[in-house]
Amino acid sequence: MVNNVKTVLVTGATGFIGNHVVEQLLATHDVRVITTARTKPTGAPWLSNVTFIPFDISTDFSEKDLFTYFERPDAVIHLAWQGLPDYKSLAHLDTYWLQHYRFLTNLLTNGLTDLTVTGTCLEYGLQSGCLTEDLPTQPTTAYGLAKDTLRKTLDLFVADRNILFKWVRLFYMFGKGQNPRSLLAQVEAAALRNEPVFNMSKGEQLRDYLPVTSVANNLVRIALQKQITGIINCASGQPIAVRTLVERFMQEHQYALTLNLGYYPYPDYEPLAFWGHPAKLQSLTNP
Amino acid sequence: MVNNVKTVLVTGATGFIGNHVVEQLLATHDVRVITTARTKPTGAPWLSNVTFIPFDISTDFSEKDLFTYFERPDAVIHLAWQGLPDYKSLAHLDTYWLQHYRFLTNLLTNGLTDLTVTGTCLEYGLQSGCLTEDLPTQPTTAYGLAKDTLRKTLDLFVADRNILFKWVRLFYMFGKGQNPRSLLAQVEAAALRNEPVFNMSKGEQLRDYLPVTSVANNLVRIALQKQITGIINCASGQPIAVRTLVERFMQEHQYALTLNLGYYPYPDYEPLAFWGHPAKLQSLTNP
């Protein structure tokens, strides 16, 4: 069931996922994008096709009606977040989460009825295996706890209101525009520098990866429907060993690096094997 | 093992529990108490035996060294919290929790090494039965979520620091100074007004009750030792039906009310039967 959504406000539009979300939305929708001094949009092919509205979430907007300021969008896809990839900084909790809570509740108080926000698999914390949306969360990072608290607080906020609230938990992704510090970007950079060896972890950890274009497509489909709300894992449900992921990537691009497995330890804030249960997402695909 | 604690700062000292905590601490310790315009201490027998230091947590204290301001106490017992008993107000999250987080981390950053804070059984949410400290929390109220988030955030904060952090989850209590809106206070008031009937819930819910003097004693003992840290249930481990509690109370005081059971529904934010597992607390009593 498709919502009667015509205009969508996208935050974080110039980020890794946001770029692809805007591109896909533009085929059918009127898109508004937030700009700040920090995120001047450059290079995106959709620059001339969206409406830019300046806004900075770190300013005091408590007296403003942001919903009217953003020209009453039918739906909001909220991707923006600060301070990544430093998952451990307490700024996620003592600074950012309240900014996002106030931003989103300002929109909802003033009339927004359809909100999609990205969460993270770090909300699950160190739980292993196939993770379903109804598992109690146990985040161990400041970022995971901030997102988890934001979701729980918004849940309390929307409880007695007529609001479509979708919380999309992102797992891992790769693709065009990815952070240069991410794994496959580093493999690519090493290959292009003709380095013989690539240092990495043992690579046996099992992760849930999706191409960023699929992530963006899932987000757009979730945002534009009104049947499925609450927490939705944006996951493949198909765990892959990180070593296999890297080898497959090298094969596709015919990179001839030798992998130096076990050079780095595993990060302490992730379990060795976890992936998302994608049933809720897939029920969208096949109605 | 007793800490070498000589001076203790108590917040919320004029509250229901605080009054008893200060009284018990004064026998052996030097006690400092915070006063605000809102909580002018009156009537407490210990008024002339403590040091009062004015402070308001809702002001901007970000530039101050609060630890020095409070004259470098050896330990802090933090009981204060606003807005109770309205457990559902979102102010617990969007206003109070950050004030408390900033207050406590200001003290810890500036040298406090021993902190005891009261949590709540509402952090467990709707989980039934005997609740152990290591259960994942699932709060369903704004107050429970705010306390839960405060505890988790402080856990992240103290992780790499040499700090004794004790989080004491309170269950139910009764005694001198209790809120006039609490159950036994209302029974007493009705009896003193010579009302024939007392309207209440069915009374079959099982709860964990302690006299407030025991709660205060537990808090003082927890605060003054350094062996047991982390989450500690302040509970009896002995569930009692609320109806039995009321009947026992009436018998003790020879009140002749008739109970109109089932007049009120059960609150929606509590399970029908839950109580605290007190092993950690009891290991303190019998070392």
* Shared-domain flag, residues A118 and A254: no
Q: Nearest 5 degrees, angle CA B170-CA B172-CA B176?
A: 105
Report strand pairing: A258-260 vs B7-11.
Answer: unpaired
The enclosing domain of B129 has a CATH number of 3.40.50.720
A143 falls within a domain: yes
Residue B68 lies in a domain: yes
Tell whether A267 is covered by a domain.
no
Domain annotation covers residue B265: no
Q: What does the CA dihedral B83, B84, B86, B89 come to, rounded to 10 degrees?
A: 40
Computed on alpha carbons and rounded to an integer, the radius of gyration of chain B in Å comes to: 19
**Is A1 contained in some domain?**
no
Nearest to A97 by CA among B36, B167, B94, B110: B94
A109 and A231 both lie in a single domain: yes
Residues A72 and A93 in one domain: yes
Over its length of 287 residues, how does chain B's per-residue pLDDT go in tens digits?
456 889 999 999 989 999 999 999 999 999 999 988 666 667 788 888 999 999 999 999 999 999 999 999 999 999 999 999 899 999 999 999 999 999 999 999 999 999 999 999 999 999 999 999 999 999 999 999 999 999 999 999 999 999 999 999 999 999 988 989 999 999 999 999 999 999 999 999 999 999 999 999 999 999 999 999 999 999 999 999 999 999 999 999 999 999 999 999 998 888 999 999 999 999 996 54
Phi/psi of residue B78, each to 5°?
A: -100, 105
- Scanning every residue of chain B, which has its alpha carbon at the shortest distance from the alpha carbon of A103? B94
> Would you call A94 and B149 a contact, using CB atoms and an 8 Å cutoff?
no
| Best to test chain B binding among A103, A127, A138, A152 (most B CBs inside 10 Å) | A152
CB contacts of A145 in chain B (<8 Å) are 149, 152-153, 156
Residue type at B108 in one-letter notation: L
List CB contacts (< 8 A) between A105 and chain B.
94
Contacts of B188 (CB under 8 A, 6+ apart): B249, B253, B255
Tokens of B214: 């025991």
Asked if residue A189 and residue A97 are part of one domain, the reply reads: no
What interface predicted TM-score (ipTM) does this complex get? Answer: 0.89
Does A132 lie in the same domain as A244? no
| Closest chain B residue to A124, measured at CA | B136
Is B18 contained in some domain?
yes
* Same domain? A161 vs A75: yes
For chain B, report the end-to-end CA distance as a whole number of angstroms: 9
Same domain (yes/no): A181, A230: no
Domain residue limits at B60: 7-173+209-236+276-285
Preceding peptide of B73 cis, ω within 30°:
no
- Do A100 and A133 reside in the same domain of the chain? yes
Determine the Cα–Cα distance for residues B172 and B119; give it in Å rounded to an integer. Answer: 12
Tell if the CB–CB gap between B153 and A94 is shorter than 8 Å. yes
Name the β-bridge partners of A165: A115
Strand partners, B259: B198
Half-sphere exposure at residue B248, Cβ-oriented, CA atoms within 13 angstroms = 9
From the list B37, B30, B34, the residue with the least C-alpha distance to B4 is B30
Domain presence at residue B34:
yes
Which helix (DSSP H) or strand (DSSP E) does residue A199 occupy?
A: strand A197-199
Q: Domain check: are A113 and A94 in the same one?
A: yes
Which residues of chain B have a CB within 8 Å of the CB of A157? 90
Cβ-based neighbours of A9, under 8 Å, separated by 6 or more: A31, A32, A33, A34, A53, A70, A73, A75, A76, A77
Using a CB-CB distance cutoff of 8 angstroms, which residues of chain A are in contact with residue B94?
A: 98, 101-102, 105, 153
If asked whether residues A131 and A188 sit together in one domain, one would say: no
Same domain for A160 and A69?
A: yes
Indicate the number of domains in chain A: 2
Q: Tell me, yes or no, whether A187 and A72 share the same domain.
A: no
Neighbouring residues of B251: CB distance < 8 A, sequence distance ≥ 6: none
B251 falls within a domain: no
